[in-house]
């Protein structure tokens, strides 16, 4: 995955700038869950999207279902961390200075974890932010960084550009019941009037019964509803959850939701590799499918001319 200019934001330190403001002005530095959502086409989506469809033209496209499943999993990893950030930021700040503000320590009555949020202004509209965690019974010296990030273009609707990293392992160690997922996440975003771009890297992310998965995801959603999703992963993408496949998914769609996905799988239950192309209409019904298996077999359904894109996304 190509990393955009937001990753350079992490090198900026407190000495980059200054200013004054209320606690509300510091909160404009924080991204929302909606800003970081990885997108898939959704208009007119059928109700049952949790299972793969049978290989029949006219039924819900299975690669559309896979696209929705992948975006849901990634949004769960990222959104959970941002929800924790939002919970603390909704409490009154403990301290506000000319160039920084702090919240916490904060904890829920039933949680064994305490957290604190620190936001530093490093320039006009530019901030760094950090969410630290520690055991509720510990002292402030035991705080460790859980989420660290930086943003620019701060506004009431949220910053236009930024990035952050999340240590899921730390949250799991401190409270495995509330935080069953382990691994690491790096996420970045860039907003323009015409589109929203999100990039996410998952490092060995997994739940209690899932194998560790690593993936790079790039999502683009345009103002007209069209978009694309690029997904490169080493994860359980086919067959038994005990084996991992290396997979590439390239999916894109027009404003109506009609789209095309191209998938390549290697290793694991995909053996020596497989290639799949699938196109769906505005109701997400399959209109074309083509699959090539490692033994040279080819299966085709529908007409390629029904695809809204004649070529795969590069």
pLDDT in tens, 93-132: 999 999 999 998 988 888 999 999 999 999 999 999 999 9
Residue 313 lies in a domain: no
E strand or H helix at 38, and its extent?
A: none
121 DSSP β-pair partners: 127
Looking at residue 44, its pLDDT comes to 36
CA gap 312, 262 in Å, rounded? 6
Q: Report phi then psi at 117, rounded to 5.
A: -120, 135
CA gap 261, 103 in Å, rounded? 44
Residue 227 lies in a domain: yes
Residue 4 lies in a domain: no
Helix, strand, coil percent content, the chain, rounded in steps of 5:
20, 40, 40
Residues in the chain where the model's pLDDT stays below 70: 1-22, 40-67, 236-239, 269-272, 293-297
Q: Is 252 helix (H, G, I), strand (E, B) or coil?
A: strand
Residue 274 lies in a domain: yes
Residue 276 lies in a domain: yes
Strand ranges (DSSP E) for 139-241?
144-152, 161-167, 182-192, 195-206, 213-222, 227-235
Contacts of 293 (CB under 8 A, 6+ apart): 274, 299
Total-model pTM: 0.80
Q: Report phi then psi at 28, rounded to 5.
A: -70, -10
Looking at residue 295, its pLDDT comes to 59
Residue 225 lies in a domain: yes
Q: Report cis status (omega within 30 of 0) of the bond before 105.
A: yes
Domain interval for residue 99:
17-42+54-306
Residues present in the chain in total = 314
Residue 282 lies in a domain: yes
Total domains in the fold of the chain:
1
Residue 311 lies in a domain: no
């Amino acid at each position: 995955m190509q990393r955009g200019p937001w990753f350079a934001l992490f090198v900026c330190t407190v000495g980059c700038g200054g200013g004054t403001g209320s606690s509300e002005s510091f909160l404009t530095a924080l991204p929302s869950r909606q800003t970081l959502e990885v997108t898939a086409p959704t208009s007119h989506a059928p109700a049952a999207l949790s299972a793969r469809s049978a290989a029949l033209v006219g039924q819900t496209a299975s690669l559309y279902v896979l696209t929705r499943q992948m975006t849901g999993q990634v949004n769960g990893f990222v959104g959970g961390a941002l929800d924790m950030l939002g919970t603390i930021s909704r409490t009154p700040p403990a301290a506000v200075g000319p160039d920084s503000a702090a919240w916490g320590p904060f904890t829920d009555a039933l949680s064994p974890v305490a957290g604190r949020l620190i936001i530093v202004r490093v320039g006009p509209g530019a901030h760094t932010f950090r969410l630290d965690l520690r055991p509720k019974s510990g002292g402030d010296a035991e705080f460790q960084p859980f989420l660290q990030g930086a943003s620019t273009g701060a506004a009431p609707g949220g910053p236009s550009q930024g990035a952050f990293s999340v240590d899921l392992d730390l949250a799991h160690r401190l409270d495995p019941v509330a935080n069953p997922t382990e691994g690491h996440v790096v996420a970045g975003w860039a907003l323009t009037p015409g589109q929203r771009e999100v990039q996410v890297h998952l490092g060995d992310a997994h739940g209690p019964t899932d194998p560790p998965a690593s993936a790079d995801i790039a999502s683009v959603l345009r103002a007209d509803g069209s978009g694309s999703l690029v997904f490169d992963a080493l994860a359980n993408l086919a067959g038994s959850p005990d084996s991992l496949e290396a997979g590439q998914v390239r999916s894109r769609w027009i404003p109506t939701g009609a789209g095309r996905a191209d998938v390549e799988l290697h290793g694991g239950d995909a053996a020596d590799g497989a290639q799949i192309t699938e196109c769906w209409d505005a109701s997400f019904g399959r209109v074309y499918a083509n699959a090539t298996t490692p033994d040279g077999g080819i299966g085709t359904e529908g007409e390629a001319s029904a695809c809204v894109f004649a070529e795969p996304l590069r």
